[in-house]
Amino acid sequence: MLQRAVRLPTRVLIQVRYGDLVFDATIGNISAGGARLLGVPDDALKVGETIDIHALGKQMRAEVRWHIDDTCGLMFDKPLSGPEISEILGARTFH
């Protein structure tokens, strides 16, 4: 059985871009392979779409793997390195 990647909880504000659509969301948890987004507008994203995430002056590309209510799961095109994850975790904001 495949072991699920360790997901690190966080609250980091990011910007999502898909075509002409741009909105702010929050990373709820993150791993090397993906993330869970919170605060996604209804019907903004569909499973299978590729989006760009902008955080800390960096851009990450990801595929939407699932979407329920205002939450969606992403799989990064390129896995994040340990230092990249640490940098994102260091930018936590709490609401």
Q: pLDDT per residue over 8-47, tens digit each?
A: 888 999 999 999 999 999 999 999 999 999 999 988 999 9
What is the pTM assigned to this prediction?
0.85
Q: pLDDT per residue over 49-67, tens digit each?
A: 999 999 888 899 999 999 9
Nearest Cα residue to 91 out of 60, 53, 55, 40:
55
Nearest Cα residue to 47 out of 32, 66, 34:
66
HEC sequence for 1-67: CCCCCCCEEEEEEEEEEECCEEEEEEEEEECCCEEEEECCCCCCCCCCCEEEEEECCEEEEEEEEEE
Tell me what pLDDT residue 73 has: 96
Tell me what pLDDT residue 8 has: 83
Q: How far apart (Å, rounded) are the C-alpha atoms in residues 7 and 38?
A: 15
Tell me what pLDDT residue 43 has: 85
CATH fold of 8-89 reads Thrombin, subunit H (2.40.10)
